[in-house]
């Protein structure tokens, strides 16, 4: 069975909103290597509409020597939306109805991980339906004080820390797997 992996840039106070506004000063080659390995261990992306539209506007024209952009652009993209009529970015598919069932079916298919970038509303749906297997959180040494947080108030999730990495810029990678036995 494939794993659904939620990958997020998160401030120290749990904000995940608009990381392009606060994460870039901390970027290092180490973080780039982490993101590269994460992407190449996946063979599908699951995105909410807002994240999809941002990625679709930014990534199709990008290239890089490491092949990150080519990989991101070529992977199947499953967009959870109730408002988009079509998804034009290469290899994109819309999921409008029965979201939990559709994602559960994707997990049953053969293949690598299914990666979820950003997509806060989608992540809430995944958590509520017990569909997340792992969280790859890059925690930044910033306290933003406001913004959308990864987990809604009142949402309970049991996690098991499986790996940590500290980067020279002060960013810490925390890898958690969902601890379903205690859920």
Residues 51-97 have pLDDT tens digits of 999 999 999 999 999 999 999 999 999 999 999 999 999 999 999 99
- And the tokens for 43? 């063979």
**Residue 182's pLDDT is what?**
47
pTM over 0.85? The answer is: yes
Q: What is residue 39's three-state secondary structure?
A: helix
SS (H, E, C) 91-106: CEEEECCCHHHHHHHH
> Please, are residues 87 and 93 in contact by the beta-carbon 8 Å criterion?
yes
- Structure confidence at residue 183 (pLDDT): 44
Sequential pLDDT tens for the chain (183 residues): 999 999 999 999 999 999 999 999 999 999 999 999 999 999 999 999 999 999 999 999 999 999 999 999 999 999 999 999 999 999 999 999 999 999 999 999 999 999 999 999 999 999 999 999 999 999 999 999 999 999 988 888 999 999 999 999 999 999 999 987 544
Contact 48, 80 (CB under 8 A): yes
Tokens of 74: 């070529």
Which pLDDT belongs to residue 133?
97
Dig out the tokens for 56 from the structure.
């679709």
- Complete domains list, the chain, with CATH: 4-182 (3.40.430.10)
Using the CB atoms, write b or e for 7-24: b if 16+ within 10 Å. bbbbbeebbbbebeebbe
Per-residue confidence (pLDDT) for residue 181, from 0 to 100: 56
User: Kind of pairing, strands 159-166 and 172-178?
Assistant: antiparallel
Tell me how far apart the alpha carbons of residues 175 and 171 are, in angstroms, rounded to a whole number.
13
What pLDDT shows up at residue 179? 86
19-24: long-range contacts, CB 8 A cutoff, minimum separation 24: 19/118, 19/140, 22/140, 22/142, 22/144, 23/138, 23/140
Of the candidates 104, 96, 98, 103, which has an alpha carbon nearest to the alpha carbon of residue 80?
96
Q: Would you call 89 helix, strand, or coil by DSSP?
A: coil
């Amino acid at each position: 069975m494939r794993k659904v992996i939620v990958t997020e840039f998160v401030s120290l106070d749990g904000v995940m909103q608009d990381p392009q506004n606060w994460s870039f000063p901390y970027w290092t080659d180490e973080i780039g290597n982490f993101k590269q390995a994460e992407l190449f261990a996946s063979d599908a992306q699951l995105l909410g509409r807002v994240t999809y539209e941002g990625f679709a506007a930014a990534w199709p024209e990008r290239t890089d020597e490491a092949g990150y952009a080519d990989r991101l652009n070529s992977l199947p993209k499953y967009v959870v939306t109730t408002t988009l009529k079509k998804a034009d970015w290469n290899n994109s598919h819309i999921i409008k109805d029965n979201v939990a069932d559709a994602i559960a079916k994707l997990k049953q298919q053969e293949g690598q991980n299914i990666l979820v970038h950003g997509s806060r509303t989608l992540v809430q749906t995944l958590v509520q339906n017990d569909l997340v297997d792992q969280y790859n959180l890059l925690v930044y040494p910033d306290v933003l004080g406001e913004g959308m947080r990864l987990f809604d108030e009142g949402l309970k999730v049991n996690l098991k820390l499986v790996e940590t990495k500290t980067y020279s810029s002060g960013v810490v990678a925390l890898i958690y797997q969902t601890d379903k036995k205690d859920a």
